[in-house]
Amino acid sequence: MNDTFLIDPTTINITKLFPTPVAALVVPNHESLNKSLKEIILRHALESSGANLSNQGGWQSMEDFAQWSGPAGETLLAIGQSFVNQLSAVITPEHGLVNANLRWTFSAWANINHQGHSNALHGHPGSYWSGVYWVDDGRDEPGISTGGELVFHDPRGLMPTLLNPAVRMKIEGCLSAGLTHSVKPSSGTFLIFPSWFLHAVNRYEGARARVSVAFNFTV
């Protein structure tokens, strides 16, 4: 018996349910902003012992970035407010789903990682959106890898790979099912993602400090 049945792949209708957004924005003219932010953050790190949460080595400020970061911090926070509003909508009885124009409650903190530092796998409970802005990715040359990638873990866990790790879903956007997705830090890039999305930071191998600011947004 011939059990081969040829299917025209163009006749298959695929719906990819429950996507998880990770939004990236390269801030225009970020060089001047980054210079000011880096000076402020490095100076504050000398004055504060900071906190120890997910960071494995390195320095992390308290969640009071807005209180000491001055005009440069205000600019970055305003960008963050606008960014999460662009990614959000509100359901209203009168008009259904409408664009969000919310004044988000936020917390923000600065991070400095040196060679050998990383961040353990974690999420951000109690928030809706979380994000990171890379002030200085630590690279002296654009094409040189220095590690320290931001790594997102499939929220479905290992299930898609437990039966047979060699089998993959031949569907656009689904090849990483059960695995992880890495984002390379880049100076001037602002990344926003759902706060429940588990993530970690790989070991950083750069010769100079990597500086970033992290955020939580809630309503």
**Phi, psi angles (nearest 5°) of residue 130:** -130, 165
pLDDT in tens, 41-81: 999 999 998 888 888 999 999 999 999 999 999 999 999 99
Using left for φ > 0, alpha for ψ between -120 and 50, and beta otherwise, residue 178 falls in left
Question: Max CA-CA distance within the chain?
Answer: 78
Per the document, the length of the chain is 219
Q: Is the pTM of this model over 0.85?
A: yes
Q: What percent of the chain clears pLDDT 70, i.e. is strictly above it?
A: 99
Domains assigned to the chain: 25-45+52-149+184-218 (2.60.120.10)
pLDDT in tens, 126-164: 999 999 999 999 998 777 789 999 999 999 888 778 888
Mean pLDDT of the region 93-111 = 94
Beta carbons of 144 and 184 less than 8 angstroms apart: no
